[in-house]
Structure 1
Amino acid sequence: MASELDFSPPEVPEPTFLENLLRYGLFLGAIFQLICVLAIIVPLPKSYETEGDPSEPRSAEVTRKPKATAPSSNKRPKKETKKKR
Structure 2
Amino acid sequence: MSAEQLDLSPPEVPEPTLLESILRYGLFLGAIFQLICILAIIFPTSKSQQQEEVEPSESKPAEPVKKSKGPAPQSRQKPKKESKKKR
TM-score (ref. length: structure 1): 0.60
Structure with the bigger percentage of helix = 1
Structure 1 residue 45: Cα displacement: 2.2
Match of 1:21 in 2: 22
Unaligned runs of 5+ in 2: 68-87
Distance (Å, rounded) in 1 between the aligned partners of 2:32 and 2:17: 23
Distance (Å, rounded) in 2 between the aligned partners of 1:8 and 1:26: 31
Q: Structure 2 matches for 1:1-85, cutoff 5 A?
A: 1-2=1-2, 3-47=4-48, 50-58=50-58, 59=60, 62-63=62-63, 65=64
Structure 1 residue 15: Cα displacement: 0.5
**Number of corresponding residues:** 66
TM-score (ref. length: structure 2): 0.59
Distance (Å, rounded) in 2 between the aligned partners of 1:46 and 1:24: 36
Alignment deviations for residues 38-69 of structure 1 (CA, whole Å, 9 cap, x no partner): 11101332336x42331333426x24x37x58
Cα root mean square deviation, aligned: 2.5
SS at match of 1:53: helix
Unaligned runs of 5+ in 1: 70-85
Distance (Å, rounded) in 2 between the aligned partners of 1:36 and 1:44: 13
The amino acid across from 2:17 in the alignment is: T
